[in-house]
Amino acid sequence: MNIHAYEKLWLIAALLLIVGFVATITYGAVGLGIAMVDDSEETLDPNALDEHERFGDLGVHQTGENQYDVNVRAYQFNYDPGTTAVHDPIVLPENSEVTFYVTSSDVIHSFSLVGTNVNSMVIPGEVSAMTVEFGDPDEYGILCNEYCGSGHHAMEGIVQVVPEEDFHLFSIESVDAHESVEPGDDLELTATVANDALAEETAAVDLEIGDETYENEVTVDAESTGTVTFTVDTGSLDTDDLEALDWTVTVESGSPATFDDGTESGSVDLEGQGEDETGTDDDGTATEDEEGDE
Ligand code: CUA
C-alpha cells in the first residue's frame, strides 16, 4: 500500500501529540507530588480536635531554621488562627518554608492563599497539608472557596509575612504577683516568658500598672522559658480612691507573631482601701455594696 508522504507525516505528528498528552497528564498527576485529600490516610475526630496531637496546638511552630508548621482549624465561618475578627492573624517570617496543616471541625471548607499555589479543600476528619515558600514581607488573604453555609462569602483570614527581626515566638506563660499590697510598699511581679523558637532570643516585656508602664527584657534560650521580675514602688503610683491595682504584662514581639497569648492581666488588692467606702457592719467586717452606692 502506498501512503502519501504528507499523510505519513500527519499520522506521525498525531501519534506524537497523543503520546505527549498522555505524558503531561501522567506527569501532572504523579510527577509533581500533588496528593488529593482522601480517606486513605489516618483520619481524626473533628469533634475532639482539642485532644489531637497537631490540632490541639493551633498556630505557628518552628520545625527548622527557616521552616515552620502552621496548624489551622477551619469552621463556620472563620480560620483559627487567621480570621482577625475573632483570632490572631497568621504571622510568619520572610524567607521561610511553611507547611499549612488545615482541618475542619464542621463542614467542608477550603483554604486558599490568594497569590500563591496554596488552594485545597478542607474536609472534616481529614488533614490538608500544603507547603509554600515566602520571600519578602507581604500580606496574603485566606479565602474559603467551598460553599459552606450562609457566612461563606465572609469566610476569610490573613497571613502576614514580616521582617525576620519582627518575628518571635514569645508568649507569657504565667505571672506571679502578690494578691494584695499596702499602698506605698513595693510590689513584685514575676513573669514567665516562653520562647518557642529554635534559637535564643531577647524578649521585651512591658508591665502596665496604674497609669505607669515599666519596661524590662529577658533573654530566653531556645524552646525554653525565662523569668523577668518587676519591682513597683506603689508609692509612686496614684492609688487614691482605688480598691485594687490592675496590671497587664505584655511581651512585645513587634508583631502579633504568636498565636499563644502574649498578654496576661490581673489585679492586686490595695490593703485598707476600698472597703471603708462601702461602710462597715457593727461587728466591723466589710460589707459588699451589692445594694448599690450609698
Ligand atoms: Cu467556609 Cu465557604
Question: What is residue 64's three-state secondary structure?
Answer: strand
Cell numbers given for 78? 472563620
Q: Is the peptide bond before 256 cis (omega within 30 degrees of 0)?
A: no
pLDDT for 199-254, tens place per residue? 888 888 899 888 888 898 888 888 888 888 988 888 888 777 788 888 888 887 64
Q: Which residue has the higher pLDDT, 38 or 55?
A: 55
Cβ 244 vs Cβ 267: under 8 Å? yes
Residues in the chain: 294
pTM above the 0.85 mark?
Answer: no
Spacing, Cα 262 to ligand 1 middle (Å): 29
pLDDT for 148-189, tens place per residue? 999 999 999 999 999 988 888 888 888 888 888 888 888 888
Residues 6+ apart with CB under 8 A from 140: 113, 114, 115, 116, 158, 159, 161
> What are the helix and strand counts (H, E) for the chain?
1, 18
Cβ 192 vs Cβ 172: under 8 Å? yes
Question: What is residue 276's three-state secondary structure?
Answer: helix
d(CA 162, CA 159): 10
Spacing, Cα 72 to ligand 1 middle (Å): 14
Cβ 60 vs Cβ 259: under 8 Å? yes
Ligand 1 site, CB within 6 A: 77, 109, 144, 146-148, 152, 155
Through-space distance between the first and last CA atoms of the chain, rounded to whole angstroms? 116
- Map out the domains of the chain with their CATH numbers: 46-164 (2.60.40.420), 170-270 (2.60.40.10)
Task: Give the bridge partners for 169, in sequence order.
Answer: none
Spacing, Cα 161 to ligand 1 middle (Å): 24
Q: Atom 1 in ligand 1: which residue has the minimum CA distance?
A: 109
For the chain, the 3-state helix, strand and coil shares in percent, each to the nearest 5, are: 15, 45, 40
Residue 145 CA, closest ligand 1 atom number: 2
Longest dimension (CA), the chain: 125
* Helix spans in 66-181 (H): none
Residue 151 CA, closest ligand 1 atom number: 2
Cβ 196 vs Cβ 171: under 8 Å? yes
Instruction: State the pLDDT confidence band at 284, using cuts at 50, 70 and 90.
Output: very low
pLDDT at 274 exceeding the cut of 70: no
Spacing, Cα 41 to ligand 1 middle (Å): 23
Cβ 264 vs Cβ 176: under 8 Å? no
d(CA 70, CA 80): 10
